[in-house]
Each structure stands twice: as C-alpha cells, then as structure tokens.
Amino acid sequence: MQKVYLDNAATTQVRDEVIAKMQEALGQFYGNPSSTHSYGRSAKTAVEKARKNIAKTLNAQPSEIIFTSGGTEADNMILRCAVRDLAIKTIITSKIEHHAVLHTAEELEKEYGVSLEFVDLDENGNPDLNHLKTLLREDDSKKLVSLMHVNNEIGNIIDIGQIGELCKENGALFHSDTVQSVGHYPWDVQKIDIDFFTAAAHKFHGPKGIGFAFIRKNSGLKPMIFGGAQERGFRAGTEPFHNIVGLEEAFVKAYEGLEKETEFVKELKRYFLEKVQQEIPDAIFNGFSGDMDKSTYTLVNVRLPFDKQKGLMLLFHLDMKGIACSKGSACQSGSNLGSHVLSQILPEEELEKPSLRFSFSKYNTKEELDYTIAVLKEFAES
C-alpha cells in the first residue's frame, strides 16, 4: 500500500540534519546549561547561539526570544501575562483563532473579568478591518488584539502589517499566533508593529515540544513559570538543550532554503488545485485556500460533494488507502463538534458536506498528489 503524508499543518517530518544535531546533543553535550562547569558551559553556549541565530533571522534582539514548549504555551503565556501585568481590560480576537488563543481568552474573561470582543469576519473568514477600527476606538480601556497570521484550517493570510499599524495608532498591543507562518515566510520585526508572536519547531521540520515566543523588549511582562533563573528569569525550568538545538537547525535550514522550498511547495499546491478542479469539479475550496495569493502555499481545505453519511467514511477510507490528512486542526481530532472555523463561514447545509485539509511539504511529490486525487475520485464515484 502506498503511504502519503498530507497533514503537514498538523506536524512535519523532521529533517535528517535536525535528527543528527539532536543525537549529537543527547550523546555528547548533556550538561545542564545552568551548571558552571565545562559541561554546563558548553550546553549554555549552544542555547545562546541558537537564540542569537533565531533573533538575527527575525531582525530581533536575542533577549526578545524566549524558548517554550511550543505554540500553545507561548500563546497562553503572552495572553495571561498581558492581562495580569499590563492592565489589559479588553481582548479583541476572532472566532476562528486556534483554541490556544480562544480558550485562553475565554478563561481570562472568567478569571479577570476582561471584556472579550470578536471582530467580524467576511464570508471567506478574513477579519473586517473597519470593524476592528470600531472595536479599537470603542472605549479607553487598555486593549490587546490577538489575530493569527495564517489560519491553520483554511490557510487565510491576514494583513499583519496593516493590523499592527491600526493597533499602534489606537494604543493597543498586538499579538499574533504565527505558528503556521514562522519557518515558511520571511520576518523582520523592525518593519512590523507587533508586540508578541509565537512559533513551534514541529511545523517547520523540527522536533515537537519546543518553540519560542517573541516578546518585544521592555514589554513589561513578568514570568508565568517560577523557579530557577533560566531564560533570563522569564521561564524557569532546565532548558531542553537537545530540543533547542533541533529547533535552531530546523529554523536555520528553513530560512537557508526558503525561496527554493517555497517555490517547490507552491507548485505542489497549484498542481493539487488544478487536479481537484479537473477530476472532482463540484469540489469547493473553503475560505481563501484555493487562492494562491490570499492563502498560504502550504495547505488546501476542500469541501467535497458528498452527503453526510458518505462523508463519515471518507477519512477512514483515505487512511485505509495510506493517505494522511485531516478534517480540521489536529487538536480537535477527538472532538465530534466539527470545525469551529468552518462553522463561522459556511451555512448549515454546507457544513453537512465533508471538508478535508490537505497540507504539503518539501517531502511530497506530484505522484503522491495524483494517487490521492485518484482515491478521492474513486470514492466519489462509488
């Protein structure tokens, strides 16, 4: 049976170079980075080298990079600390954010009594910037805007620069969950009015369990996790040195080959869109995922012309044929509630039809896409 992995928005295959770096770290550089002897100093040097390399690529300062266990922790940390430490009274977000943001904001509403406001979305899932302006100017409360750069289910790309400018003009802080874009798009934090953003290594061919938060210098945030003095006192706990060097290697390789790999994956997406339109002409692409300019090149979310009963068997059928994809975020795989993203942009009758997210990487081939579409077509005609 052919095996095809098209769930790269959930997690990616780890690069061989990353595995080699991590094995070296686990086997040779096992000192605690907080220890003062040579073993510890070697590990500490490597941690700080990783921080500097990441900061340099982002045009940030090393002190603005805080290593975390991944995007979820980083999102939680930033939102919670902003409310606690910066007197945030209003959080403005959207109903199609990742649950790391949505559920955190909901809890902060309960715990701290912050006002939770949702910006209107257009029919494709993009935020209404005129409504955002209205929300920003509604009252004098200290506000935090949290809107994700690339939506993890439908791939829409928001104008992060324009939103940052709006926030700055109105005295609001701006946070973005950028887990689906860091490692896939160039960044220069000196050219964007953004206060906080987040990344996870496993989205760009690195290990799971490691990521980072960008926290603008002199933000005023204080630690959420207390203990030792790691991460300049901001996040206590012994640094997972092997994961940090794995993150660094994946990050460096992603940006060294960004132009070449981006063009390769873009061509895969273009090909997939064309083949779906040819072979299953009644299929519809959700959000802007069928638009090469308005969505990320890494994923497609397609709504297939099957009834609900047949749709229930679709993922199982694909899995039996060796094809891995998803019906939404991997974080919702155990939920029967369906996609909270699609529920905001599709009418009820369209939600009954199966929607699948196919996401691509440098390790995929056109032959794999041909096989996948042939399986989908066969299922449609059965």
Coil vs helix vs strand at 67: strand
Beta bridge partners of 212: 67, 199
Spatial CA neighbour of 156 closest among 98, 116, 101:
98
Q: Which long-range contacts (CB under 8 A, 24 or more apart) does 185-192 make?
A: 185/149, 185/150, 186/255, 186/258, 187/57, 187/58, 187/59, 188/58, 188/59, 189/58, 189/59, 189/60, 189/64, 189/214, 189/216, 190/59, 191/59, 191/161, 192/160, 192/161, 192/164
Which one of 81, 167, 325, 331 is the catalytic residue?
331
Spatial CA neighbour of 249 closest among 298, 218, 193, 206:
206
Tokens matching residue 74: 């980083």
Instruction: Tell me the residue type at 6.
Output: L
Question: What is the rounded CA–CA span in Å between residue 15 and residue 4?
Answer: 17
Catalytic residue list contains 331:
yes
**Gap between the terminal Cα atoms of the chain:** 20
Under a CB-based contact definition with an 8 Å cutoff, are residues 233 and 223 in contact? yes
Under a CB-based contact definition with an 8 Å cutoff, are residues 216 and 195 in contact? yes
Please give the positions annotated as active site. 331
